[in-house]
């Protein structure tokens, strides 16, 4: 009798252990959305879920996750993953100054042995050793938003940042009457987007608007608080400043905060890059003259679509131009522009 009771207890214990080990897997894009990116817990959950199922697995590593732009990119990537029956994980560091954290995420992604990697580099050179490992393992790399200073990526889905920033420079010149002092707050000087937007803006001013003087360029890491402090210092050092260009969402918000806090609203023309609720509200109210919008959902879709083509051995163009538009309060609610603005 005792042996029967012991057998029953052991059977129940084994059953409980089996049930515990077969609990619900963390959700990924093809099951209703990934865990919040930027945390080690999220990375661990995504790593575990990436092993389940037979679908091709694509690891996506963005430049950050604090801005609505990156969340919109994730949305587009997940839409494409659902359409193409692909499993994706989406990760990014807490902010766009954490190059080392992004490199750790790239290493972890490689360790999970994906069929392809989509990568938006914070530092276009720092990631090359790991990308060379991906190439040696026959894992195709698709760049998105920010290119990599290498021929390893099979393609890069991105905005033409030089052309887009040049358009912003032309708008700035128009708004300030073609003459005066202006300044820039840029997110960084290491990524392709930071370099392209800075150089595209500066070169257009130098080439087409000789009566405009760029008095300062500072780098705020995409952090709106740091960008606010930098912009305030520039305003105080240059009391005749007529215009400010913020080269990404965090930079533009920092500039807007600085203009407000220094009492210069209506005196300094602010043109930004990207959208997000604060920028949209500023454009509607007139605090900002306008901004460049990309197509972040399209960027996310194109990076996953390109990854699938690369997995299947299809040829891809070296770059995929995902487009840009300048918006202000006169066109931001139009059928063409409104779908590209993200809140």
Q: Which H, E and C letters describe the chain, residue by residue?
A: CHHHHHHHHHHHHHHHHHHHHCCCCCCCHHHCCCCCCCCHHHHHHHHHHCCCCCCCEEEEECCCCCCHHHHHHHHHHHHHHHHHCCEEEEECCCCCCCHHHHHHHHHHHHHCCCCEEEECCCCCCCCHHHHHHHHHCCCCEEEECECCCCCCCCEEEECCHHHHHHHHHHHHHHHCCCCEEEEEEECCCCCHHHHHHHHHHHHHHHHHCCCEEEEEEEECCCCHHHHHHHHHHHHHHCCCEEEEEECCHHHHHHHHHHHHHCCCCCCCEEEEECCCHHHHHHHHHCCCCEEEECCHHHHHHHHHHHHHHHHCCCCCCCEEECCCEEECCCCCCCCCCHHHCCC
4 in a structural domain: no
Q: Are strands 116-119 and 141-144 parallel, antiparallel or unpaired?
A: parallel
What residue numbers bound the domain in which 220 lies?
161-293
Asked if residue 50 is part of any domain, the answer here is yes
pLDDT(324) > 70: yes
CA atoms in the 13 A half-sphere facing the CB of 309:
14
Among the ranges given (15-24, 120-129, 231-240, 280-289), the one the predictor scored with the smallest mean pLDDT: 15-24
Check whether residue 132 and residue 205 sit in a common domain.
Answer: no
Report the pLDDT averaged over residues 18-32: 36
19 falls within a domain: no
Does residue 339 belong to any structural domain of this protein? no
Give backbone dihedrals phi and psi of 90, rounded to 5 degrees, phi first: -130, 120
Percent of the chain predicted with pLDDT > 70: 84
**Co-location of 138 and 244 in the same domain:** no
State how many domains the chain has: 2
Query: What tokens does 315 get?
Result: 């040829």
301 and 280 assigned to the same domain? no
For 171-216, the pLDDT digits (tens) are: 999 999 999 999 999 999 999 899 999 999 999 999 999 999 999 9
- pLDDT of the residue at 31: 35
Q: Do 51 and 39 fall into the same domain? A: yes
pLDDT confidence band for 342 (50 / 70 / 90): confident
Stretch 37-42: mean pLDDT, rounded?
Answer: 41
Q: What is the mean pLDDT of the chain?
A: 87
pLDDT greater at residue 330 or residue 16 = 330
**Closest C-alpha among 295, 299, 303 to residue 339:** 295
Q: What is the CATH number of the domain that holds 234?
A: 3.40.50.2300
pLDDT of residue 23: 34
pTM for the full predicted model: 0.76
For residues 230 and 146, state if they share a domain: no
Give pLDDT tens digits for 120-176: 999 988 999 999 999 999 999 999 988 787 899 999 999 999 999 999 999 999 999
139, part of any domain: yes
Residues 42 and 126 in one domain: yes
Shared-domain flag, residues 174 and 119: no
pLDDT above 70 (res 27): no
Over the stretch 51-81, which tens digit does the pLDDT of each residue have? 456 899 999 999 987 778 898 899 999 999 9
Q: Are residues 66 and 175 in the same domain?
A: no
Section 253-278 average pLDDT: 96
Q: State the pLDDT at residue 53.
A: 61
What's the pLDDT score for residue 198?
98
């Amino acid at each position: 009798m005792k042996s029967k009771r012991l057998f029953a207890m052991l059977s129940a214990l084994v059953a409980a252990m089996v049930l515990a080990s077969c609990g619900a897997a963390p959700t990924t894009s093809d099951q209703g959305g990934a865990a919040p990116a930027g945390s080690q817990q999220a990375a661990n959950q995504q790593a575990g879920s990436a092993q389940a199922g037979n679908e091709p697995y694509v690891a996506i590593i963005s430049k950050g996750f604090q801005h609505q732009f990156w969340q919109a990119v994730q949305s587009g990537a997940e839409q494409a993953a659902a359409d193409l029956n692909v499993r994706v994980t989406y990760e990014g560091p807490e902010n766009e100054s954490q190059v080392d954290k992004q490199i750790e995420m790239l290493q972890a992604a490689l360790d999970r042995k994906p069929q392809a990697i989509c990568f938006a580099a914070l530092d276009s050179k720092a990631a090359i050793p790991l990308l060379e490992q991906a190439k040696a393992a026959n894992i195709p790399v698709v760049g998105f938003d920010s290119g990599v200073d290498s021929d390893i990526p099979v393609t890069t889905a991105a905005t033409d940042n030089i052309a887009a920033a040049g358009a912003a420079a032309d708008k700035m010149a128009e708004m300030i009457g073609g003459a005066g002092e202006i300044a820039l707050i840029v997110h960084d000087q290491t990524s392709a987007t930071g370099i392209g937007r800075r150089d595209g803006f500066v070169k257009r001013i130098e080439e087409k608007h000789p009566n405009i003087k760029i008095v300062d360029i500072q780098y705020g890491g995409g952090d709106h608080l740091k960008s606010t402090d930098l912009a305030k210092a520039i305003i105080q050092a240059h009391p005749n400043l007529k215009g400010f260009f913020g080269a990404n969402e965090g930079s533009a918000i920092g500039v807007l905060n600085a203009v407000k806090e220094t009492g210069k609203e209506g005196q300094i023309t602010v043109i930004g890059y990207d959208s997000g609720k604060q920028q949209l509200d500023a454009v509607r109210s007139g605090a900002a003259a306008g901004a460049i919008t990309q197509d972040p959902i399209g960027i996310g879709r194109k990076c996953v679509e390109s990854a699938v083509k690369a997995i299947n051995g299809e040829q891809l163009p070296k770059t995929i131009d995902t487009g840009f538009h300048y918006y202000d309060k006169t066109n931001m609610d139009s059928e063409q522009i409104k779908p590209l603005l993200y809140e």
